[in-house]
Amino acid sequence: MEIALVQSDIVWGDPAANRKRLDSLLSSAPRADLYVLPEMFSTGFNGVCESDPSETLGYLRDKARSCGCAFAGSLAISFPDRLSANRFFFVTPEEQFFYDKRHLFTYAGEQKRFAPGAERKVLEWRGVRFLPIVCYDLRFPIWSRNRGDYDVLICVANWPVQRRYAWDTLLRARAIENQSYVVAVNRTGSDPGNEYNGGSVLLDPLGREIAVCEDGKEEVVSAAVDLDSLRGFRKNFPALMDADEFEIEF
């Protein structure tokens, strides 16, 4: 499966402008089965939310159907009768899946505007099993522990440059400890509170880069994940079989 990393800047609080920006980026993008976008790619990390149903979600559905591929990324979605959600969507030509961000970034007050997700979700498309996480979730390894149920960890983020070393380190740790591919897409540019320089990358199960976006640049790069290679690696080095057993109620 060919996976494309869409590292983009985000126009603050303007979904229509961000959809137009994505159209421009995707017009010259390499052909892929899956395009992964940053966290809150239609608004940026602020108080602006799209209503449910979201115009941007409709845009992704149309793009998926027209190109025969899938799109993934998170949107800030508001509801009339409850707190909003930082919702990761995975949209295919036939259907859509979602996961609500579990770990809210209290350092920035995210818990005041959004409700935490209650369910860890694994989804499958074209024979590949994906575990989605959003930004701050990356810091909590039990949440993303591979229970033999996924092949690719997808992390989308608005991760600022001052914590970039943690981003790079944690991504590699998640790939190595879970013997999985890691697809990580972060935004670039700036908002009123932070600077972002990307660091979007596709890592193999040894934590090695197989595709990487240039720091500070809007671009789309892609690479393939190979399930036969992954299965062979896990068979020859079955570290997951020796993992500690534990039970957690979410």
Active site residues: 39, 101, 135
Query: Could you tell me how many residues make up the chain?
Result: 250
Q: β-pairing, 82-91 with 96-100?
A: antiparallel
Torsion of CA 165, 186, 88, 229, to 10 degrees: -80
The backbone torsions φ and ψ at residue 122, rounded to the nearest 5 degrees and listed phi first, read -115, 135
Q: Which residues contact 243 (CB under 8 A, 6 or more apart)?
A: 145
**Per-residue DSSP letter, 190:** E
In whole angstroms, what is the distance from residue 167 CA to residue 198 CA?
A: 10
3-state secondary structure of 33: coil
- Do residues 152 and 182 touch, judged by C-beta distance below 8 A? yes
| C-alpha of 179 from chain center | 18
Which residue stretches of the chain are H helix? 15-27, 55-67, 164-178, 227-236
